[in-house]
A = this chain, B = another copy of it.
Amino acid sequence: MKIKVIVTLKNGVLDPQGKAIQQTLNGMGFSSVNEVRQGKFFEVDVNEKDEAKAKIKVEDMCKKLLANLVIENFEIL
């Protein structure tokens, strides 16, 4: 079973990459872009048939490895 996770920077945490992308987009003529925030996406394939159980496992992985809770939030899709 494949579980999808999105990890994003917390509000207030600077996102240099997002900022650079926004500027590049503006420079390319996409002047209506106000802000870009970049995050990570994971697809975790777990050996588990029960979706709820799989998600609990992945949540644990997020807390222990996939996200750095000092600066990041995660969301399981």
Contacts and interface: CB of A to CB of B under 8 A. Distances in A.
Contacts of A8: 41, 43
Interface residues of A, number: 32
Contacts of A18: 42
Given A40-B38, A40-B39, A40-B40, A45 B33 contact: yes
A9 to B, nearest CB: 10
Contacts of A48: 32
A21 interface: yes
5 contacts: A21-B42, A30-B57, A33-B47, A35-B44, A36-B42
Given A36-B43, A40-B40, 18 more contacts: A6-B6, A21-B42, A25-B65, A28-B65, A30-B57, A30-B61, A32-B46, A32-B48, A33-B46, A33-B47, A33-B61, A34-B46, A35-B45, A36-B42, A36-B44, A36-B45, A38-B40, A38-B41
